[in-house]
Amino acid sequence: MKILLIIPAYNEEKNILQTVKNIQETNQKLDYIVINDGSSDGTKQKLIENNLNHINLIHNLGIGGAVQTGYKYAYENNYDIAVQFDGDGQHDINCVSKICEPILEGQVDMCIGTRYLDKSSSEFQSTFMRRLGANIISVFIKICCRKKITDPTSGFRAVNRKVIKEFAENYPTEYPEPESTVSLLVNGYKVQEVPVSMKEREGGESSITRKFWKPADYMIKVVLAIMIDSISFRKRGGKR
């Protein structure tokens, strides 16, 4: 089983080296690919200097476009499992095996690492506003897809080969986390959540909190996007 960690990085020069070091120290066998999303700081130089496996996007695409590049890379290089892993030190490398497990057992197509399932396991529960936002999105996903996803904005997720192919061809790039979850659910893929611990960011700037500066705006658009997606993605008909 070949597993690839997809690490999107936008202006993460302070964090990226430590993140990759953590990965290599914990598990030598894990492959990783850093997707540098056209960073304007020294991320690119850092990646080249330290000879990290990376792709430099020639222009900034946003988190969705960057992650999709990772899925394309995973598909072309015949990986069985792809894990989305943030470059800012927020996700715990020790939890990777935990979210890969249900996929290795063949039970599910995508496994999301969630902060909210088990309160004790995660030291970082994030702010009240963010939890509220996640709950609202969660309710709408439940309405549209009949499946409860407690942490729909979590960027810590593992997918199997079938979903890698699906995402390489077709990945919603505007509100990637909730939208991609909906796109899988309406097409009959199995999605499961496991509790993971998440840390506070070690530095740099999050790509989602930048959007969360305008929480109401973001929420309305995500909710509408979910409802539109649950119709437009379904058209392609059932599980392939």
Partner 1 sequence: MQISLKIALIIIMVFYLLCILGAVKKKNMRIGYLIFWIITGVILMIALLIPNLVENVSNLLGFGMPINMIFSIAIFVILYLIFDLTTLISKEQNQNILLIQEISILKKRLNDLEKKEENSNDQ
87 binds partner 1 (CB under 8 A): no
Nearest to partner 1 of 73, 175 (CB atom) = 73
58 binds partner 1 (CB under 8 A): yes
Q: Using CB under 8 A as the criterion, what x/- string covers residues 35-54 for binding partner 1?
A: -------------------x
Instruction: Look up residue 112 and give its DSSP letter.
Output: E
1, 81 Cβ separation under 8 angstroms: yes
- Among the residue ranges 58-66, 138-146, 183-191, 193-201, the one whose residues contact partner 1 (CB under 8 A): 58-66
Nearest to partner 1 of 48, 132 (CB atom) = 48
By CB under 8 A, what part of segment 61-80 binds partner 1?
A: 61, 65, 68-69, 72-73, 76
Closest CA to 12 of 63, 59, 70: 63
| 130 contact partners, CB below 8 Å, separation of at least 6 | 153, 212
| 202 contact partners, CB below 8 Å, separation of at least 6 | 14, 15, 18, 88, 89, 90
CB of 34 to partner 1, least distance (A): 11
31 binds partner 1 (CB under 8 A): no
By CB under 8 A, how many residues form the interface with partner 1? 14
For 225, half-sphere exposure in the C-beta direction (CA atoms, 13 angstrom radius) is: 19
Nearest to partner 1 of 73, 233 (CB atom) = 73
What amino acid occupies position 152? P
Task: For residue 126, give both structure tokens.
Answer: 């994030």
| 226 contact partners, CB below 8 Å, separation of at least 6 | 137, 140, 141, 144, 178, 179, 182
55 binds partner 1 (CB under 8 A): yes
Among 56, 97, 121, 206, binds partner 1 (CB under 8 A): 56
Nearest to partner 1 of 69, 207 (CB atom) = 69
Cα diameter, the chain: 49
By CB under 8 A, what part of segment 148-207 binds partner 1?
A: 173
Task: For residue 135, give both structure tokens.
Answer: 């709950």
Nearest to partner 1 of 65, 113 (CB atom) = 65
Binding interface with partner 1 (CB under 8 A): 54-59, 61, 65, 68-69, 72-73, 76, 173
